[in-house]
Amino acid sequence: MQYDLVVIGAGWAGFNAALKAKSHGLNTAVIDKGPIGGTCLNSGCIPTKSLVQSAKILSLARKSAGFGIDSESPVLNFQKIQERKLNIIHQLQRSMQFALVLKGVAFINSKARLLSPDTIELADQEIKAKNIIIASGSRPAELPVLKFDNQNILSSNDILNLQAVPKSILIVGGGVIGCEFACIFHTFGTQVTILEKLPQILPSEDPEVARRLETSFKKKGIKVITSGELNALDLAAFDKVLVCVGRVPDTQDLGIDRIGVKTERGRIVVDEYLRSSAPSIYAAGDCTGKIMLAHFAAYQGELAAFNIACPKELKKATYSNIPNCIFTEPEVASVGLTPESANANGINIEIHKFDFLGSGMARIMDETDGFVKIISNKANGLVVGGSIIGARATELIGIITLAIQSGLNIEALKNTVFAHPTLSEAISDSLK
């Protein structure tokens, strides 16, 4: 069988690449050794956010008396929470499979190995492809001194399949994944300790936001150790140890080394058009080691497919305006420059800030912990970045993302009328 394009990996990069390619008339197939959806759907965004939502409902139920709702203490049913998570995954898997069928994209559930730049070996056959996109995703990074055993030393994949809530857990790594799981299991009743070797949790975020989240964690009873060393703790004191020290590109066993695909520390090296060093082979998503976010993977996948389908209209990838969303409690989101990165680039900035303590809707929701922080270029007033910590931060960041993408200045954002009472008013209130 010969295809115009074969995509290796059916995660968010591969799935969206296939649909984009098909929309441009390419005969397309997607191959994945696992279930459709990749990391995001099966062991990342979707299952973790399902647990986050259950934790939010539980947290709200516990404080319902403050809203004038008298009820008995809520009871956690972890089995039903896990069942709900799996139902959501299965529903979305079916939706993705239906989308591929509807568009006429072939889905092949098989291990794939490249024999040449145009030949792919499957479990029971070989297929030909004029072009290939590698979208093989990533896997949890492992520490040499903490090898995953799927019992006590857990990866972020393993912890999703727990059958019971642990009494205590040590989370090694205070990044996005570690902080999200800290909130989930603290709400479920686990004694949580976060160990981060750097001076702040969420090392890539605005330090002011990271400090605010750490303060919030400590008020809740989550123990946070920064600038910490693993050998200073007794691992036997914890029921479970969750290792969240990042993810690494999953490019093993693809055969890419034999056909001239250049890699660096496991990631596939691509140019600005997402082309690899081998003819007719592109790469998209986590396997490129760029920004490991599902929405960025989808963007890369679509861009790679477009550049294959329209070689006379090549588009360059951009990495400057990608929102980052962290589903902790309170939520954290950011986009563009931080004050530190702006200063490092020699940009003279103004900082505009509004605390949710002054928000009517935040008061109504009883979620006043947090603030909006918008950064503008002092020379021309253009919005260049923003960070939000607080209720619905992951939704509100879209406003700042759109402002940066559209080249809006502070005056345009200030003059926008936001509905009252809403949390979005904090955007304009920060500019007054």
Alpha helices in 271-345 (DSSP H): 294-309, 339-344
- 8 A C-beta contact, residue 428 and residue 361: no
Cis peptide before 35 (omega within 30 of 0): no
In the three-class reduction of DSSP (H, G, I as helix; E, B as strand; rest coil), residue 248 is classed as: strand
**Could you give the CA distance from residue 11 to residue 298 in angstroms, rounded to a whole number?**
9
User: How many C-beta neighbours within 10 Å does residue 221 have?
Assistant: 9
Catalytic residue among 24, 90, 295, 420: 420
Give the chain's length. Answer: 432
- 8 A C-beta contact, residue 279 and residue 128: no
Strands 126-134 and 281-283: parallel
| 186 is a catalytic site residue | no
Instruction: Say what angle helices 78-103 and 12-23 make with each other, to 10 degrees.
Output: 20
User: Which of 225, 3, 41 has the alpha carbon at shortest distance from 125?
Assistant: 3
Strand runs labelled E in 90-137 = 106-109, 113-116, 119-121, 126-134
**b/e for 339-369, b at 16 or more Cβ within 10 A?**
beebeeeebebeebebbbeebebbeebebbb
User: Which of 140, 168, 144 has the alpha carbon at shortest distance from 154?
Assistant: 140
* Structure tokens belonging to residue 334: 């950011």
User: Which of 44, 33, 45 has the alpha carbon at shortest distance from 9?
Assistant: 33
* Structure tokens belonging to residue 383: 């919005």
**Could you give the CA distance from residue 414 to residue 432 in angstroms, rounded to a whole number?**
7
Phi, psi of 132 (to 5 degrees): -135, 135
Strands 263-264 and 267-268: antiparallel
**Could you give the CA distance from residue 260 to residue 280 in angstroms, rounded to a whole number?**
11
Half-sphere exposure of 357 toward its Cβ, with a 13 Å CA cutoff?
Answer: 2
**Could you give the CA distance from residue 329 to residue 183 in angstroms, rounded to a whole number?**
6
* Residue 74 DSSP class: P
* Residue numbers annotated as active site: 420
